[in-house]
Chains A and B, each alone.
Chain A
């Protein structure tokens, strides 16, 4: 089974802190994604990556950056956390780009910014 592991299930941070969310997948997938889930808004794409050291902006990249130094690991970075970044963050991976490329999600990281 594909496993996508997010390092922290729950985090509480203060405004202005730097936050790292780590994600590791064990199926040698090429593609990795970071989404955030908010009530009434569904899942919105923050950043994605198709290869090591490659990244592309999603629909809501402002206030975030990412790092992919190894194929299996994709990190989401909040340089200076703000209260409007309180959310559920979901990492996903897939093998195939384009139609048919089913996403496999991690369990999510619930971030609260005070």
Chain B
């Protein structure tokens, strides 16, 4: 059973516009959420995170929003750049779960010049 779901396998946006990547989770014990970015032939790299005590975290062009009641989080990239083209993974962890991250299926973002 997939506890973290990214229902959109791919997303295409124009350079300069907003990219919105979505993630849903089912386990109410999750209390920390992360986004990772992965280029082909490279390992994932950490992008941004949010604790369940917050509903928004911002880092430059990247903002993550958390809606606990809906068990939904989203990553906003504004403005999108061609270098943002990659696979984005949402991940979640639960307190006391010893650091184990549960990942979603990933969304491939293409930013067109």
Contact = CB atoms under 8 A, between A and B. Distances in A.
A and B associate in one complex: yes
Interface of A: 4, 9, 31, 33, 35, 40-45, 48, 50, 56, 58, 90, 92, 94, 96-108
B106 A105 contact: no
B42 A98 contact: no
Nearest to A31: B99
A98 B99 contact: yes
Given A107-B42, A108-B42, A99 B31 contact: yes
Interface in B9-36: 9, 31-32, 34, 36
B63 interface: no
Contacts, number: 75
Given A90-B43, A105-B43, A105-B44, A42 B99 contact: no
Q: Number of contact residues on B: which range applies?
A: 20 to 34
A94 B43 CA distance: 14
Contacts of A102: 34, 46, 49
B69 interface: no
A44 B43 contact: no
B99 A94 contact: yes
Nearest to A30: B99
B106 A42 contact: yes
Interface string B83-113: 0000001010101111111111110000000
